[in-house]
Structure 1
Amino acid sequence: MFNLALGFVASFLVIFFIVRSSGLHGSLSMDHDLHGIQKNHAYAVPRIGGVGIACAAAITLVAQPLWATNTGTGNLLLLLCAVPVFAGGIIEDMTKRVSPRVRLLCALASALAACLVMQATLTRVDLPLVDEWLRIMPIGIGFTMLGVAGLTNAVNIIDGFNGLASVLTMLIFASIGYVAHSVNDWLVMSMALTMIGAIGGFVFWNFPVPSVFLGDGGAYFVGFIMAELLILLIVRNPSVSAWYGMAVAIYPAFETLFSIYRRRIVRGRPAGDPDGLHLHTLVYRRIVRKGLDAGNLRQRALRNSCTSVYLWVLSLVSIVPATFCWGSPAALAGATVAFVVLYVWLYVAIVRAKTPRWLMITGHAPVVAPRPRGAERPRN
């Protein structure tokens, strides 16, 4: 638990410094684009919260030998593997000039480094015919790289509302930590606790009224570490079903797959084109935003945060059974299917304006409190 506590404190302090010093770096770090197709925020704040999370993880793991018999070398190596994908995201946050293709290559490079340095290569998915192919090293490495890059990008895709991606990944890391404790995998458990603390320090400044955003760097860093811990947990512990990884992370994974289907198959557009038709965006615009006073920045921020609560609850449909049935492929497959069915039902209901009344939020949020420190009004 020292990892969690130190991670939280370090992240809180680093992000406190980022927020208080926003006047110095705001020209680079502020997210002034508030009118883009995927933008749902009321005012500009720094979008480099990922720096605080990454710094907190590094500080915690360097200090780990002070209280633990294990030096944590494996976790430090994992952080080094994350450098390419984190750097690609942070540079994009600061310059807006890193293309999606380059960021994908950075994610693939980090995944390849983990395969070579950490032996984090999937050799089984608990499907006999597929497992035979995965035991061929080049195929296993290629499959792992694509899976890690896909899940890394998936976390960035769902990162659109206050606390959505950060709290969701905290739930997943908590599940990973519980399973790792159950199978006595100290390396994975300590890293999971470290990430819970580091993300928790960020959430304090991001939810419900944000003073900082996660940014691409933060989303990619958190998504990469999460993907690698899932792979290490499965590779290092034969008793953990490979279906656990799919079940516990099905929300970001399915959001990505469904978005590709919707863009490429349904609309005939490139899969990478941004749009405002993600489930979280529809929940905000058609459920949470009803009755919203658009001129009230505080109310918009609170409604933004309410959107995240809907998706946290939805994600628990698969996370909870995955956490306690990590060794049962049938239960894990059932949880995955249940989530997919519920997701599609909810998506179709919202699109067709048939959302159940019990899901609707009515009334207005209180008109109080100024903008958070470090925030700027929208630019015209």
Structure 2
Amino acid sequence: MTTSDYYLLDDTLPPDARAVRDRVRTFVDAEVLPVINDYWDRAEFPFPLVPKLAALGVVGGVIEGYGCPGLSRLAAGMVTREMSRGDGSVNTFLGVQTGLAMGSIALLGSEEQKARWLPAMAALDAIGAFALTEPGHGSDSVRLETTARRDGDGWVLDGAKRWIGNASIAQVVVVWARDVADGRVKAFVVEPGTEGAEGFTTELITGKIGKRAVWQPDVTLHGVRVPADHKLAGAESFHDATRVLTATRGGAAWESLGHAMAAYEIALEYATRREQFGKPIAGFQLVQHKLAGMLAEVTSMQLYCFRMAQLQEEGRFTGPMASLAKLHHARAARQVCLDARDVLGGNGLLLENHVARHLTDMEVVHTYEGTDHIQALIVGRDVTGIAAFS
């Protein structure tokens, strides 16, 4: 049995989610996998895939209206799972676009702001970015130092951001900054290349070991002017940034699942054809034990994700629930990818076998949206009622 769907969960998919799964899987097999290793190796973004991604009709995910597809939570999960099953860089590009940038505008923007930016972003005519993390503030991003001050009929932004996916190619960047007047964190839409935004500059971060085919630059904001109506209407505190991150943290769980499914299936297929000591290595007890353990983790991740989608549809999914899913999935998928690399031996080090890419991409997933340490503290606070961090 070569499938990683051991409990036949995909058999329960409703028609809409099944159609999305098949459409994205076909795209990944035909368009992504044949080219992505070369882009990844050269640390180049695969620009030719952008119009093809737009044609899939999945950009915008669960957002309804404004040219967005209004997918169910389960169908949106299929997009993330299948995309990351192919490649983490492409999935991150799409996740930043849909979940973080468009998600911020959809959740916190006024009707006018949604109508202004979302349709072009849904068509990928405008690429989005989400600027929260700073050089000195990752896990403690609540303490961000980028400032916003009123000046006449607009705002002026100053500061620095780091690891901002898509920022060097974006037309719409959601920047989180602290209002110097009241000390509260707010969000502003910066349109690089427009008048007043000359102080918005980027510098690519190089030398990454994972997610090499998506660009995540440093950003500098020096006297960047934005009109008053570019402040997102519903963004009045860091709690609003947390609302966006809670929604996307579930996406990190689906992504981890995709990486793990790919790694397991590659390892299983390899083990059945790779011969050592006169027989396929799949016939050895140690290899079978490893494969069974990998499948157990993949299956538990699938069950988490399907239940997570149900709770989201019912409006009962909480921030700590998202943290538990991210904690478990990033840790489990990281190990599954490592085990797959081990099954392939030296061949697991080669990009042509894809596992090395999934393994190093999972190192990135393990870190972003909060490491397992931070997620554990969020869950711990929820179950004990005692905060172990400020």
Name the TM tier (shorter chain). under 0.3
**Higher RCO (C-alpha under 8 Å, 6+ residues apart):** 1
TM-score, length-scaled by structure 2: 0.27
Question: Greater share of helix residues, 1 or 2?
Answer: 1
Question: Greater share of strand residues, 1 or 2?
Answer: 2
Bigger Rg over Cα: 2
TM-score, length-scaled by structure 1: 0.27
